[in-house]
A and B are shown apart, each in its own frame.
Chain A
């Protein structure tokens, strides 16, 4: 993963001057007309594979808010012609349709493996912008599409998309609140725990493949960690009272959480093995819901030390606590953006929660949701382009995604049961 990140950086540096021709601004302002053609099968390939790739890729591209898709029924003959390099693409046809970019690809089955080759061409300059070959199981087709969507975003904006990542959440369709995991578009959902108790409030480790959560499995709200692929699970903190809202420090080496072992709810810092490193807040108030700044030097958290629940910022080194100056009488669940420039939170007003973002100095507050129902538990995508949250806007609580400006609201969790407390992984 680290290698991949470095490679991305290298490619980014080399590709930077070339990527500037198609101009991308903020999502929604001006979209790029893009023609996304279906993969052309080389030999026998189930139509479902072609359709799954097409649908997944197009959903991601639309969700990004950066593109408008040229209607497929207006495509001319070039859409059915294999175009491996720029000299084989009839750019005139695509220019005629107003497309500035065209996605072309082929797929084939080779020794039981699915091979997908996809390319993005710049219609105006008649050249290849990016290309990728994916080899994997047939069931990996949607993941290939997510990765290519990320790649398209990277080649046009310089920053990879967030689509090849996962969202963890709490669902109760089994009759108990358990931990679940799904793709960013809500597909490939899987239940991770079978505690048959109450499982709460997950958080991904910075490396992505591990989750922290609280569970009443042993009769007390204890903190657990679970490796996603091995299924291995361990109880990290089972101190008397609350062991809740565990959050990995961005370096992955420590965990901030709320303990009430001494009676009052305060923030503490634990090692990942559960050893007690130090107490972070010591105040008669309730201190909960920590969220790390990306540098790991500050924590936003919720405290009622001034009466009502409000968001405060703790400087880890100096141990100074400052109020995040926001309006409203009840502000909770802060989430620091991955770039550090915004803090998302939910505000209770007139009996309902809505989601807001604000700069860490309290300036430039923006309201993102306007009901109906409760909109809460905001968490950022790894690239900061999106916010995932839970909403009861259409009845039972479900998981939704929106862009960081509040546009593009899309429900992603499957129907059935309440779904809440989403957490967005890093890039997978």
Chain B
């Protein structure tokens, strides 16, 4: 019994040692050596970590070297007073009667300015999961787009983007604020 367990242990150690050698052979960088020897001779080299700290410094420099020009985001757009935003119910993307009326009015502007590219932006209130709200904002923008297309607007001149709950109009967190933030906006692309 005893000899068996000893043998098993030995095999286990040999197997591990072989794997370690293999792994060491594959490793690109020398790994930190870790040895636990009882009492006086204990050693764990932090060499690798030191390299990493230097890496951190490098990264910080690289960061400030990143272009300073990336100001703003998205395609340049202008708000057009004639293009009115529409609002939605919580966790909904269906168009209310009021929203449909506003879309008809927006479509009239678009029909009168047929060469103008329009970007439809979908937004959510700050409640709910961020990722889910990104998808919900996408749906709201798409619902508005599909309705405009059904009114005869050329889909080639309509693009959609979702900002989820990232850019609320009103940060106060009241029910009124949430209702205001659940919206789709229509911008003229420049």
| Residues of chain A at the chain B interface (Cβ within 8 Å) | 1-4, 6-11, 13-15, 84-86, 117, 119, 128, 130-137, 139-140, 143-144, 147, 177, 190-198, 200-201, 216-221, 228-231, 241-242, 244-245, 258, 260, 263, 265, 286-289, 302, 304, 308-309, 330, 332-333, 346, 348, 351, 376, 420-421, 428
Assuming the contacts A6-B20, A7-B20, asked whether A244 and B13 have C-beta atoms less than 8 A apart, the reply is: no
Contact of B63 among A13, A140, A192, A265 (CB under 8 A): A192
Contact of A230 among B53, B58, B142 (CB under 8 A): B58
Asked if B63 contacts A201 (CB within 8 A), the reply is: no
Known: A8-B34, A143-B49. 13 other contacts (CB 8 A): A2-B23, A130-B36, A133-B42, A136-B53, A137-B53, A194-B70, A196-B72, A197-B70, A221-B162, A231-B59, A258-B134, A289-B131, A348-B128
Assuming the contacts A196-B70, A258-B135, asked whether A144 and B130 have C-beta atoms less than 8 A apart, the reply is: no
Assuming the contacts A4-B34, A7-B20, A139-B53, asked whether A198 and B73 have C-beta atoms less than 8 A apart, the reply is: yes
In whole Å, how far is B53's beta carbon from the nearest beta carbon of chain A? 6
B126 — nearest CB in chain A belongs to which residue?
Answer: A374
Q: What are 28 A-B contacts defined by CB distance under 8 Å? A: A2-B31, A4-B32, A6-B23, A132-B34, A132-B36, A132-B44, A133-B42, A134-B44, A134-B46, A135-B45, A140-B50, A143-B49, A196-B70, A196-B73, A200-B134, A217-B73, A228-B55, A231-B62, A242-B138, A244-B134, A288-B129, A288-B132, A308-B91, A309-B132, A330-B91, A330-B128, A333-B131, A376-B129
Assuming the contacts A10-B13, A229-B59, asked whether A84 and B128 have C-beta atoms less than 8 A apart, the reply is: no
Interface size on B, as a range, is 35 or more
Q: Does B16 lie at the interface of the complex (its beta carbon under 8 Å from any beta carbon of A)? A: yes
| Residues of chain B at the chain A interface (Cβ within 8 Å) | 12-13, 16-17, 19-20, 23-24, 27, 31-32, 34, 36-40, 42-47, 49-50, 52-53, 55-56, 58-60, 62-64, 66, 70-75, 91, 127-132, 134-136, 138-139, 142, 160-163, 166-167
Contact of B58 among A133, A134, A220, A231 (CB under 8 A): A231
Which residues of chain A are near B131, meaning CB under 8 Å?
Answer: 201, 244-245, 258, 288-289, 302, 332-333
| Alpha-carbon distance A201/B12, docked complex (angstroms) | 42
- Which 3 A-B residue pairs are closest in the complex by CB-CB distance? A136-B46, A229-B55, A332-B129
Which residues of chain A are near B13, meaning CB under 8 Å?
Answer: 10, 13-14
Asked if A136 contacts B49 (CB within 8 A), the reply is: yes
Which residues of chain A are near B127, meaning CB under 8 Å?
Answer: 348, 351
Asked if B73 contacts A241 (CB within 8 A), the reply is: no
In whole Å, how far is B179's beta carbon from the nearest beta carbon of chain A? 14
Asked if A201 contacts B130 (CB within 8 A), the reply is: yes
B19 — nearest CB in chain A belongs to which residue?
Answer: A6
Which residues of chain A are near B46, meaning CB under 8 Å?
Answer: 134-136, 140, 143-144
